[in-house]
C-alpha cells in the first residue's frame, strides 16, 4: 500500500509478517549487526523509495501509546519507514530519514522524545527535485 505502482518491481527486499513481527525483526537485525561488527553505536539512514504520506489519525498514530498499540493491532496505516524508525528508537539508534514522506508522525516524535533518541531528516533531494530546487 505504501509502494508506488511504478516502484513495485524494484521493491523486492520486504520484511514479511505483521507490523509487530517486522519491528521485532528490525530490532533483531540491529542487534545482530552491532554484535557482528563489534560496534557500540550505529546510525540508521533511510534511503528507500519514497512512500505515500501516512494519514495522521487520532487514536492511531497521534501519541506514542496509540502508535505502539496500532503496531500491535497490525494497523495498515503504519508505514514501513515508521516501523524502521520505531525499531531504531526502541534500540536507542539515531534514525535519519532521507525520503520526503511523513515518517515522523506525531506518535513517533512522542516516542523519540520519551526515549531520548535522535530522529531527523525529511528529504535528501537526491532525485530530480534537487535539480528543480537549484533552478
What are the angstrom distances between the C-alpha of 106 and each of 47, 54, 68?
Answer: 21, 11, 12
Q: Give the 3-state secondary structure of residue 119.
A: strand
Predicted local distance difference test score (pLDDT) of residue 84? 97
Assess whether pLDDT exceeds 80 at residue 1: no
Q: What is 17-134's CATH number?
A: 3.40.50.720
Cβ density class 92-104: b for 16+ within 10 Å, e for less: ebbbbbbbbbbbb
Give the DSSP H/E element, type plus range, for residue 46: strand 44-46
Contact 50, 101 (CB under 8 A): yes
Predicted local distance difference test score (pLDDT) of residue 30? 98
Give the DSSP H/E element, type plus range, for residue 32: helix 19-36
Name the band, by pLDDT with cuts 50, 70 and 90, for residue 106. Answer: very high
Question: Structural domain boundaries of the chain?
Answer: 17-134
- From CA 94, how far away is CA 53, in angstroms rounded? 22
Predicted local distance difference test score (pLDDT) of residue 14? 78
Q: What is the pLDDT of residues 5-46, one digit of tens each?
A: 667 777 777 789 999 999 999 999 999 999 999 999 999 999
Q: What is the pLDDT of residues 41-91, one digit of tens each?
A: 999 999 887 788 899 999 999 999 999 999 999 999 999 999 999 999 999
Amino acid at each position: 500500500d505504501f509502494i508506488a505502482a511504478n516502484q513495485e518491481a524494484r521493491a523486492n527486499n520486504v520484511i514479511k509478517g505483521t507490523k509487530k513481527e517486522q519491528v521485532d525483526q528490525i530490532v533483531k537485525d540491529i542487534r545482530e549487526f552491532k554484535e557482528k561488527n563489534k560496534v557500540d553505536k550505529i546510525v540508521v539512514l533511510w534511503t528507500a523509495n519514497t512512500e505515500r504520506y501516512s494519514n495522521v489519525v487520532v487514536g492511531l498514530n497521534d501519541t506514542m501509546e496509540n502508535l505502539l498499540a496500532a503496531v500491535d493491532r497490525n494497523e495498515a496505516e503504519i508505514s514501513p519507514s515508521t516501523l524502521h524508525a520505531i525499531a531504531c528508537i526502541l534500540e536507542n539508534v539515531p534514525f535519519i530519514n532521507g525520503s520526503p514522506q511523513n515518517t515522523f508522525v506525531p506518535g513517533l516524535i512522542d516516542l523519540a522524545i520519551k526515549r531520548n533518541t535522535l530522529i531527523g531528516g525529511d528529504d535528501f533531494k537526491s532525485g530530480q527535485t534537487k535539480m528543480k530546487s537549484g533552478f
